[in-house]
Structures are given as structure tokens and as C-alpha cells.
Amino acid sequence: MDKLSQLWRRALFYARRDRFDRELEEEMRFHLELKAEENLAAGTSPEEARYAAERQFGNQTLLQEVSRDMWGVRSIETLFQDLRYGVRTLLKNPGFTLIAVFTLALGIGANTAIFSVVNAVLIKSLPYREPERIFQALRRYPQGLGEAASATKFSFYRQHNQTFESLAACDILGAGVSLLAGDEAHFVSSLQVSADLFPVLGVNPLLGRTFTAAEDQPGGGRVIVISHSLWQRLFNGDRQIVGRTVTLGGAGHTVVGVMPPGFQTRPSAEVWMPLRAVFDVADKGNNYLMLGRIKPGVTPEQAQADLDRVRALMRKDYPEHIGDNETAAIAGYQDRLVGDTKLPLLLLMGAVGFVLLIACANVANLFLSRAAARSKEMSVRAALGAGRLRLTRQLLTESLLLAVAGAVLGLLLAHFGLKTLIAITPDSLPRVSEIGIDPPALLFTLGVAAAAGILFGLAPALDAGRLNLVNALREGSGRTTGSASRARLRSMLVASEIALSVVLLIGASLLLRTFANLRNENLGFDPQNVLTLKISMSDPRYQSTAGTEMFLRRVFERLRELPGVESAAYITTLPTELCPDMLFHIEGRQQNDFEDSNYKHITPDYFRTMAIPLRQGRQFEERDSESGAGVMIVNESFARRFFPNESPIGRHLTIGGNIGPDYADRTREIVGVVGDVREEGVDISSAPMMYVPLAQRTDRLTLLTNKLAPAAIVVKTRQNPLKTEPAMRAAVRSADAAQAVSNLRTMEEVLSWSLARRQFNMLLLSVFAGLALLLSAVGIYGVVSYSVQQRTREIGIRIALGAQARDALWLIIRQGLALTLIGVTLGLVAATALTSLMKTLLFGVSATDPLTFTTIALLLTFVALLACWIPARRATKVDPMTSLRSE
Amino acid sequence: MGSDAKKTELVPGTLEMLILKTIERNAGPMHGYGIARYIKQISGDVLQVEEGSLYPALQRLAIKGWVKAEWGQSENNRRARLYKLTPAGRKRLKQEVADFERVLEAILRVVQPT
């Protein structure tokens, strides 16, 4: 209370400070008069009396100032004074100001932009209610984590856990579905979710409702919930949509709800359908994600222990459902979503931090060189009584002003930079839609600007504090050489800039080489002139293998009729996309000896379309139909792993075996071996793979597959496949008018999509490294050219005394070279330590790749020498007469 | 600031108390000059309050809300800024005097021969 009223009185005072000054002056005058009268009464002459009074009174102005200071507003007034003066000084040197502001804007803008991304992806809470209580349930093995669970397991866990408010499940990957709006079929992404998913995420629908428990039971009726964007796009935001029936995959579905804008599940979808998971001891297919909301007051550790208890319970009753080394684990939903984007983003954040440091060093250097020119001004001010603190403060005010200007321009740069950034952001980066310059980003920018202002302002300010009055005034002709300490400081700054640039450049080159390596990696197939497309198989007519096959056969026939099309084939999922895997048993091996391998279903032309070489045996043929003998083809990795010293051809095995009736399969004979394909991504080495003809897939498996993912089709063309794109769409439509084609991309696009995130990181880091290189080149140029200017007279004397132009050149370059070498050495040492952080992001190149390190060291030395050479050449042109006369 | 060597230094921290006490003793509000003169007189010229300390101290007291300044008439009918004690100032004075007496007594006990 007391403090508050004091504050109030101070504020009141500040508002009336002019009156205060007047009044104080009057009070002093009154005091003096009384004092003079007193002296007069004591018998001195009036003049003397007044003089004595004034003498006794002392310095009236100072007294007045001290009295004012009591109110503590001097600092505010000084601030305004400093600001005014700072603005004037900066405007007087537009060149200096412009360069400084722009340099800072680059540094601050880059930081703001990357921070906005980091904030949206890593820091901001998920747009769900109390997201910190949402956890994903995982399986933990000694080798790592598995995230998929079976419907059976989900049902069991849901029933027996005690720590979750509710536990939900959804597909690992949405299948997508053809939606008929008007008379046009649209491919929309879809996801099966348990009714609990919406309460788990804690989001209420905008219109209508989400699924009821009854609807989530088998036979619960055809109901869907749609996303806000789909509602806007296909139904024009019609509020009467709830309760209406729409045709989805050839069957009528009732829309029961519309979710609010911005709501998304992961995997994302435009249409949500009930999952209808049931407890079925026979079903062991791990096709779902399991996530839940823990009860209030329950710790993650308790929840994990609880799930592990349930796991033990299930293992006791249904041992075949839980792996030998399996334990239950949980992970925060946000951490799971962010996953592997965390490291690259933090890396980029570090990189822009470096860029800002370099920018600060540059501006500090500018300040220091200006400080030399200003030393006279400073000495005069000091001589007139400005305290050391006061001078330091003035300089800091100027640098903060610059920083604020830099921040404003930086925000502008960040705004446009972010637009570009979002445009090139890979779709796989989570939460892209949430990126933007919001209050936290603004606050961050402000903080960065303040820190930068102090950082680059501190060196010159401290330097000014060390001012030696006498020397500065004596030198005073504006041709001061600058103190030795100042020169040392500048050199240190430049050396650090170079060191930072070396680190950034090495980081960027390592990513660049990684990317090149991945690009040149032998994929095991030829992506050239291959077009891929996805077709939703959710139509009831395609729920049998025969139906699916007949439809595809028709599509292939139409496609092959198109000019330029060589072949077309089906595959479960494309290379680099999510790849199913399955247990199998090799006949003749120990009973219950199950192995695991990737597996996909294909139509006979697949290998030809993708140019995957046949190594042994034969390809699939027409005779490998439903009624034919069971056959399969494996890849070389499979042959090597499971038949190390024998030929796999002619061997029999059973796929699926004990997983459940959906997966029960006939015994198959291996009829061929094909080359390895980078199936799980360009950067993941090939794993064993089994290919099974689509025609021999069981109906149950077809049903399941069509529910989990859209069918992928690859088409080999003779020329650029995109030219035939419209014709292909038409061909599919002519095979079935209700079918929508989606994701029509060339195989090369699919591949670069799988590398998109790496490309994103590489691109950004390269831009930052380039920026760093430019800034440090400017930095070293500035220092060297300044030193040439300072040493003109010295060089003039040297030349007059017979030194050659070459000597003068060397004199200057030597200085720059020394700085560069120190900087490069420091940078190499730092890079050795720092690049180990990005080990996991590299491919085919070591984190301390000697070639990269050497190249970058040479590159920087070269650029630095160039930056020295330009001003150094000026030194050789020094005319001794002019330079000596310029005294 | 012309400092006079002959002046006796005030005991540190007592200036504010002296000012408060002076205003309290005087029936009405006082101006700065009056306060200084009064302290000098009562102390028999031992305590001299410099203007350089007096006016900042008065500001300090005003900020803390212990005195209140307003313009009025001086004894010889001139416009002067007059300071008067606030209730908070009165309370503060009482406490300061009590503290001071306690300290003084303690000091005396130490320096006086027994």
C-alpha cells in the first residue's frame, strides 16, 4: 500500500515536473532572500549580504537537480534525451545506420522465422483440451518401440486399464474413400476411429455430434463425421448437412457431425468413420494406433505401470498376443507427433542463432570503427562532466535503437520469409498450419533484439568507458589510430565470425552431401517415366479379391490403350511408403519357428513396370491365378537372410500363420528371386520382402487391406508421364465412373516427397550458411579496409623508404590472413564437436568427413583472402607524397 | 558546493528526524529556511543544516508521504512553500526518536566511564 502511494506521488510529480522546477526555483530564491536579509541585519552591505548568501547556499542548479533526482524521474528524462540524441546521431550517418539495421534485420528476421516454426511444431500445446494428459500407448522391445496394436489388444486394454479416462484407437494410415458430390467423385482422406477418440482429444463437434458407443459396435450403421474444410469445400458450409446421407465408396452414409475448423487427427482425415474394434482372440493384426487421456492426478509413470499390469494380465490369458520381450510403454502425444522433426528444428534454431551472433559481431565492429571517429566527441563530453556510466548508457541506447529498427525490419523479412518457408515446408512436417508470427514469436523477436542490442552495443560501450581523456583530446585531429585494445577487440570479433561461419558451412555441406548421396542411391528400380496413382477401394463391389482384380484389370486395359503407356500394375503400397510386414513359417524348419518379413501384393506386371531385375526363377504369370498353385517371389535380402547357403527356389512357406483368420493363407512355393528395392525409404537399407500375386490374396485380407489403405497403381510410360495425366484419369473413370483418382504423382515425385524433409533442412541450413559466409566476408573486409585507412601514412612512409607495392600488399593481407587462420582453426575445432549432434541426420558421410572439413576451410580462407585483397590493393596505390602531406 | 570546515557534521541518518521534529514543535507549517534556522538556533549553532542536504531531504520526506508541501504566507507575508507533518510523518517521527534514544543510550553506556 505504502509503495503504491509512493508510486502515485512519483507519477503525479512526473506529470507536473515543469511546475516543480519553477516552484523549486522560487523556493530557492525565497531562501536566498531571507538569508541575504539575515546577513544584512548582521551589518554587511546589501551586495555583500547577497553574495555571502549565495556563497553559503552553494551551486543552486546542482541543488535543484539533486532535489529533482529525489523523485527518481531523471532516468526517464535522460532516456528520452539519449533517444533523441541517438536518433539524431544515427540519422547523421545513414550509410552506417542502413548497413547495421539491415545486417541486424537479416539476423533477427531469420531467428523470428525459425522460432515461429519451432514454436508451432515443438513448443505450442496441441490444439486439444489439456494435451499434456494425452498419451500414446506403445509396445517396448529391447530393440525399440512399436506403435501399432491389434483391435483385440485395444479392446482388452480398454476394458482392463484403471488409469485412463478413456482409451481410443484409430487407423495407422487412412484408406481414403471416393465421395460422390453432385455427379463427381472426389477422393477424400478417411480414417477409422473409435468413438472415444473425440473425447480423448477433448474436442467437441461444431455441428451435430460424434459417434455413440453403439455406432462403434459391429453393425452400428453407416455414419460419418466430417472435417470443417470438407464441409466448406464440398457442401458449401451448409448447416443442414447433419442428418443428410452422402454416397461414400458406393454406399450411403449419414453425416452425424462436423468438426470445428483447425481440428485434425493424426493421421489427418476429412472423413472419420467408426472403427468398430472387437475382442477377437484370433485377430492379431497390428493395424491401429492406441491413445488415451489419463485421469486427472494420475502421473505418466502410474499410467505406464498400469498398462504394463494389463499387458501381464493379457499375456497370462492370451500369451500369443504379447511378444516375449514386450512391455507396455507410453509417450506424450505431442512428443510422438513431433518425433524426428525435433532434432533438425533445434539444429536450424542453433544455426540462425549463429547467424545472429555473426550479424551482432559485424555491427559491433561497425560501432567500434565509428567509435574511433567519435572518440573526440566522447572526450569532449567526458571533459564537460559526463560520467563514464552516462557515456556507456548513451552508446547502449544507440545500439538498442538500432536493434529495435533491425527487429522491425526483421519482422517484415520474417513475415515474407515464413510465407516462402511454409510453401517449401514438406507436408510431413507436423502442425504446419499453426505456423505464424504470433504473440510468442513477437515476444521472442523483442527479446532477441534486446539481447542483440546489448551484445553488440556492449563492446563499444565498454570501450568508450575506457576512454583516456588526455590522449584522445591530444590526438584529436580525427586521425586517431584507435586504441590497441579496440583493434584487438575487432580482430577477436572477426575471428569468431569466421569460426561460426566455418561451423555453419560444414553443417550445411554435410547435409548437402547427405542429400546428394541419397539422390544417387541405387533404389533397385527405375523411377523414370513411372506415374503413380491411388484409388480408393472402399466400394462394396470391390470387397472381394475377384472384384478388386476385375476392376483393376479393367483399369489396366484402358490404361494400356493410351498411347505411350507400356505397362501398369498394382501394389499394396508404393516404395518409400508405409510397408506392411508379416510373420511366416518355412516348411521343414522347426515347428512354431516364425520369422518376420515385409510383404506386398502385386499384379504380374509390377516388376516390369518398375524395372526390378529378376535374379532367379520366374515372374508371376497369368496362370498364377486364384485356382493356380500358391506362389510367391522374394527379394535378394530375403534369400540371403533365410536361405543363406541354398537356393530358395522351390521352397515352401506359409505366410500369416498364427496371426488370425484374416491373415490365414495357403502354403506357397517360392518361384523367383528379384533385386532389392529401397522399400522403406531411400535412406533405409533393404529388408527382406515377399511378393504375393494379388489374384491369390484371400477375400478377408482384401477386405482388410482395402479398409486400411488405398490401392496404389504404377504406370510406365515412354515419355514424360504427366503428359498423359488427364487421359489416365479419364481411363480410370471409364472403368468405373464412381471412382476418384488421387495422388497422381510421378514416382520421382514420390521419392522426393520422401526426402522432402531432408531437403527442407538442407536448403535452410545452406541459406543460413551462405548468409554467414557473406556476413563474415563483409566483416573481414570492414576490418581490413579500416586498417588500410588507418595505416595509410605508415604505408606511405614505407613506400617512400623504398618498400615495394608487393610489400604493402603483404603487410595488409598478412593481418587478414592471421585472423582468418585463427578463425578457421577455431571453427574446425568447434565443428568437430558440434557436427556429432547431427550424426543421425547424415547418410553416407561421416560427421567429421575430412573432405568436407578441408574444402570448407579452404573455401573460407579463399573468401577471406578475397575480402582482404580488395582493400589491400588500395594500400599499394598509396602515393607517399599525398599520404604524407595529408597531415 | 562550498563546504565549510567549521560546521559540525550531523550524525548520519538524523537529518530527517530533525526536520520532522522541528516541524512538529512549531505550531504551524514551516518553510525550508525556517527549518534550517530553527535547527541552528535550538542546537546553539552546533547543528547546521546545509541547503544542499535540506532540500533533497524535504523531497525525500514528501515522496514518502511524511510531510506535505503547500504554498502559503510566510511570517512576513511573502509567498513561501510551507511544509507540514502528515499523520504518517508523526508516527514515523515517534518511531525514529524512540530508535534514536535507544541507540544513544547504548552508545552512552559504552563510552561513559562506570
Identify whether residues A345 and A294 lie together within a single domain. no
Identify whether A532 is part of a domain: no
Q: Which three cell numbers stand for residue A620?
A: 508371376
Q: Compute how many other C-beta atoms are within 10 angstroms of the C-beta atom of residue A737.
A: 11
DSSP state of A289: E
User: Are residues A188 and A270 in contact, defined by beta-carbon separation less than 8 angstroms?
Assistant: yes
Distance CA A829, CA A471 (A): 40
Helix (H, G, I), strand (E, B), or coil: what is residue A307?
A: helix
CA distance A84 to chain B (A): 29
A362 and A299 assigned to the same domain: no
Q: Which of A10, A28, A31 sits opposite B63 (nearest CB)?
A: A10
B3 occurs within a structural domain? no
Check residue A274 and give its pLDDT: 93
Measured between CA atoms, the residue of chain A closest to residue B55 is A67
Which among B31, B55, B64 is the nearest to A63, CB-wise? B55
Question: Where among A273, A298, A324 does a domain terminate?
Answer: A324
B92 touches A: beta carbon within 8 Å: no
Q: Largest Cα–Cα distance in chain A?
A: 139
More confident residue, A56 or A828: A828
Which grid coordinates are listed for A556? 489396366
Report the pLDDT value the prediction gives residue A478, as an integer from 0 to 100.
43
pLDDT at A19: 79
Number of domains in chain A: 5
Between A461 and A581, the more confident residue is: A581
The answer to the question of residue B101 being in a domain is yes
Q: Name the least confident of A151-155, A738-742, B20-24.
A: A738-742
- The answer to whether residue B104 sits within a structural domain is yes
In tens, the pLDDT along B30-53 reads 888 888 888 888 888 888 888 778
* AA identity, residue A460: P
Residue A671 has pLDDT above 90, yes or no: yes
Q: What is the pLDDT of residues A411-441, one digit of tens each?
A: 999 998 888 888 877 766 677 777 888 888 8
Q: What pLDDT does residue A885 have?
A: 67
pLDDT tens sequence across A580-625? 888 888 988 887 788 888 899 999 999 999 999 999 999 999 899 8
Is residue A335 included in any domain, yes or no?
no
- CB contact under 8 Å between A9 and B55, yes or no, is no
The conformation of residue A72, written as its DSSP 8-state character, comes to: T
Assess A24–B contact: CB distance below 8 Å, yes or no.
Answer: yes
Mean pLDDT value across residues A542-547: 88
Report the candidate in A127, A113, A122 with the shortest Cα–Cα distance to residue A436. A113
pLDDT bucket at A649, cuts 50 / 70 / 90: very high
pLDDT at residue B2, rounded to an integer: 39
Owning domain of residue A376: 73-129+341-482
Give the nearest partner residue to A67 out of B59, B64, B80, using CB atoms.
B59
Residue B4 covered by a domain: no
- Determine the 3-state secondary structure of A463 from DSSP: helix
Nearest 10 degrees: Cα torsion A569, A572, A576, A579: -150
Q: Give the global pTM.
A: 0.71
Q: Do the domain assignments include residue B19?
A: yes
The answer as to whether A454 is a domain residue is yes
User: Looking at the 3D structure of chain B, how many domains does it have?
Assistant: 1
- Nearest Cα neighbor of A354 from A761, A763, A773, A760 is A773
CB contact under 8 A, A30 and B74: yes
Q: What is the DSSP letter of B47?
A: B
Inter-chain CB proximity B31 and A30 less than 8 Å = yes
Distant-in-sequence, close-in-space partners of A591: CB < 8 Å, separation ≥ 6:
none
Q: CB pairs below 8 Å between A and B: how many?
A: 67
Name beta bridge partners: A271.
A190, A226
- Option in A13, A28, A62 nearest B1 (CB): A62
- pLDDT for A466: 63
Q: Does A34 sit within 8 Å of B33, measured CB to CB?
A: yes
How far apart are the C-alpha atoms of A194 and A356, rounded to whole Å? 48
The pLDDT score that the predictor gives to residue B1 is: 38
Q: How large is the ipTM?
A: 0.79
B95 membership: H or E segment, kind and range:
helix B87-111
Q: Where in the sequence is the domain holding B99, given as residue range(s)?
A: 15-111
pLDDT bracket for residue A287 (50, 70, 90): confident
Do the Cβ atoms of A63 and B31 come within 8 Å? no
Residues A636 and A711 in one domain: yes
Is A684 part of any domain?
yes
Name chain A contacts of B4, Cβ cutoff 8 Å.
Answer: 56
- Decide if pLDDT at A134 tops 90: yes
**Residue in A closest to B70 by C-alpha:** A23
Output the CA–CA distances (angstroms, integers) from residue A453 to A65, A398, B62, in the order listed: 30, 9, 38
| Domain contains A374 | yes
In this predicted structure, the answer to whether residue B7 has a pLDDT above a threshold of 60 is: no
Of A5, A13, A31, the CB nearest to B51: A31
A17: helix, strand or coil: helix
Q: What is the dihedral of CA A872, A873, A877, A880, to 10 degrees?
A: 20
Same domain, A56 and A82: no
Nearest to A58 among B2, B31, B62 (CB): B2
C-alpha cell at A593: 519357428
Same structural domain, A546 and A685: yes
Q: Are residues A716 and A657 in the same domain?
A: yes
Q: Which three cell numbers stand for residue A28?
A: 530557492
Nearest CB neighbour to A5, from listed B32, B65, B71: B65
3-state SS, residue A29 = helix
Cell of A776: 563474415
- Whether residue A791 is found in the same domain as residue A714: no
Decide: A844 and A517 in contact? Cβ < 8 Å.
yes
CATH number of the structural domain spanning residue B92: 1.10.10.10
Q: List CB contacts (< 8 A) between A70 and chain B.
A: 56, 59-60, 63
Q: Is residue A373 scored above 80 in pLDDT? A: no
Residue bearing cell 536493434? A403
CA A8 to chain centre: 48
CA–CA distance, A146 with A668 (Å, rounded to integer): 29
pLDDT at A293 over 90: yes
Residues in A touching B58 (Cβ below 8 Å)? 67
Q: Which residues of B touch A56 (CB under 8 A)?
A: 2, 4, 51
Q: Is residue A613 part of a domain?
A: yes
pLDDT category of residue A483 using cuts at 50, 70 and 90: low
Task: Write out the three cell numbers for A450.
Answer: 534486446
Residue A479 reports pLDDT greater than 50: no
* Residue-level pLDDT at A473: 58
Binary contact (B64, A70; C-beta < 8 A): no
Mean of the pLDDT values across residues A333-360?
85
In a domain, B93, yes or no: yes
- pLDDT exceeds cutoff 50 at A47: yes
Per-residue pLDDT, A71: 66
Handedness of CA B61, B62, B65, B70 (dihedral sign): positive
Label residue A851 by pLDDT band (50, 70, 90). Answer: very high
Average pLDDT of every residue of chain A: 84
Cα A624 to Cα A693: distance, rounded to the nearest angstrom: 7
| Residue B10 included in any domain | no
B13 interfacial to chain A (CB closer than 8 Å): no
Residue A530 lies in a domain: no
**Smallest CA–CA separation between A473 and chain B, in Å?**
28
Quick one: A173 and A313 in the same domain? Answer: yes
The yes-or-no verdict on residue A112 having pLDDT over 50 is yes
What is the average per-residue pLDDT within A460-467? Answer: 66
A27, A55, A62: which to substitute to probe chain B, counting the most B Cβ within 10 Å? Answer: A27
C-alpha cell read off for A625: 491365378
Q: Does residue A477 register a pLDDT over 80?
A: no
Optimal mutation site among A21, A30, A62, interface B, most CBs of chain B within 10 A: A30
Chain B positions touching A31 (Cβ under 8 A) are 31-33, 51
In a shared domain, residues A107 and A207: no
Residue B9 in domain: no
Lowest mean pLDDT, pick from A10-14, A302-306, A638-642, A828-832: A10-14
Question: Which among A30, A38, A69 is the nearest to B80, CB-wise?
Answer: A30
CA distance A46 to chain B (A): 19
Nearest residue in chain A measured CA to CA from B49: A57
Give me the DSSP letters along A720-782: -GGGGHHHHHHHHHHH-TT--EEEEEEHHHHHHHHTHHHHHHHHHHHHHHHHHHHHHHHHHHH
d(CA A331, CA A334): 8
Residue A35 contacts B, CB cutoff 8 Å:
yes
pLDDT category at A793 given cuts 50, 70, 90 is confident
Average pLDDT rounded to a whole number, residues A690-694: 95
Pair A296, A150 in one domain: yes
Distance from CA of A60 to the nearest CA of B (A): 9
Nearest one of A504, A505, A405 to A452, comparing CA atoms: A405
Residues in chain A with CB shorter than 8 Å from the CB of B71 are: 23
The pLDDT, as a whole number, for residue A425 is: 74
Are A692 and A545 in the same domain? yes
B79 touching A (Cβ < 8 Å): yes
**Of A272, A291, A324, which closes a domain?**
A324
Please state which of the ranges A60-69, A251-260, B16-25 shows the lowest mean pLDDT.
A60-69
Mean pLDDT for the stretch of residues A668-680 = 91
